Structure 1
Amino acid sequence: MTAPRPERVEEPGASVRMSVRTASLWQGQGPVVAMVALGGAIGATTRYGAARLWPAETAGFPWTTFWVNVLGCAVMGVFMVLITDVWAAHRLVRPFFGTGVLGGFTTFSTYVVDIQKLVDEGRPWTGFGYLVATLFAALAAVWLAGAAARRTVAGRRR
């Protein structure tokens, strides 16, 4: 979805001038931006809560970030099946929940920082293991959860 583009309008007695369509940014993209921001606040707050409930040990493996990312990817797999195969979702559902909530909940930026910390602490193999384990676990989670959701939906249609 893109912002409205200006169109050229010829006015008598004037040079070519640019005017904007009547739909403003806030009528077009504004609700989408608002839903992403609201969802992101919810997702990030939830992730912060998880980090407070299960803090990672200073020199330990970052299990909380690992499981938050894997869980977020699994939920994304189910969500995508639901909004593509089951529901005729409102246009703001995907930006709110997919981009906002799950984008704010999962934390691949922290994942990268955790890898850098492990390397800086002299634990490059742990950092490499974390990098590979998160990548494979997240991809497996989204694929397996999506496949399970698709099977469940197909089983209910019979």
Structure 2
Amino acid sequence: MLEKLGLIALAGAAGTLARYWLSGLVYDLAGREFPWGTAAVNILGCFLFGLVWELGGDRMIIRTETRAIILTGFMGAFTTFSTFIFESGAFLEDGRILPALANVGFQTVLGFAALFGGLMLGRML
């Protein structure tokens, strides 16, 4: 278990550095008038999440434990947006449109509320 935690931590460090490098590169190329760096990370993260999930599924090209390390460690640090999209997509794939829309709406609305709540609290302190 300790070895697995260490591998998740290392993968997380790699994901953090990859996010920093990629978003910085995209911002340098495209400018900062729109969050292109974040968008690039999130979109690539969604693609990579789907690829790793499939390669570790029925096809077993990636071992289940390795897939967990990549998705939890690397992808968790690279972007959690990919997990959010994957979970919402799983609802859609199962034909469960209402839970998919509820998940997107719930997390988006409450995410904005939490952001502005944190900003307000920070300004009061």
Report TM bin, short chain. 0.5 to 0.7
Structure number, greater radius of gyration: 1
Give, in whole Å, the separation in 1 of the partners of 2:13 and 2:37: 19
Matched, 1:83 2:29: no
Q: Any residues of structure 2 matched to 1:54-69 within 5 Å, and which? A: 54-55=26-27, 57=32, 60-69=33-42
1:7-47: CA deviations, max 9, x gaps? xxxxxxxxxxxxxxxxxxxxxx2122111101111111111
Give how far 1:91 is off.
4.8
Q: Does the aligned pair in 2 maintain the 1:41–1:101 contact within 8 Å?
A: yes
Q: Does the aligned pair in 2 maintain the 1:68–1:105 contact within 8 Å?
A: yes
Give, in whole Å, the separation in 2 of the partners of 1:107 and 1:87: 24
Give, in whole Å, the separation in 1 of the partners of 2:51 and 2:61: 15
Scaled by the length of structure 2, the TM-score of the pair is 0.56
Distance change in 2, residues 1:62/1:95 (3 Å): same
Q: Does the aligned pair in 2 maintain the 1:31–1:92 contact within 8 Å?
A: no
Distance change in 2, residues 1:87/1:49 (3 Å): same
Q: Which runs of 5+ in 1 are unaligned?
A: 1-28, 109-133, 148-158
Q: Which runs of 5+ in 2 are unaligned?
A: 94-125
Residue 50 (structure 1) aligned to one of 22, 25, 28: 22
1:30-73: CA deviations, max 9, x gaps? 1221111011111111111112212251xx22111012111111
Give, in whole Å, the separation in 2 of the partners of 1:77 and 1:91: 14
Give, in whole Å, the separation in 2 of the partners of 1:98 and 1:77: 10
Aligned identity (percent) is 33
Matched, 1:139 2:94: no
Match of 1:4 in 2: none
Q: Does the aligned pair in 2 maintain the 1:35–1:95 contact within 8 Å?
A: no
Q: How many residues align?
A: 85
Q: Secondary structure at the match of 2:34?
A: coil
Give how far 1:88 is off.
6.4
Distance change in 2, residues 1:49/1:88 (3 Å): closer
Q: Does the aligned pair in 2 maintain the 1:65–1:107 contact within 8 Å?
A: no
Match of 2:6 in 1: 34
Q: Which has the higher helix share?
A: 2
Give, in whole Å, the separation in 1 of the partners of 2:47 and 2:37: 15
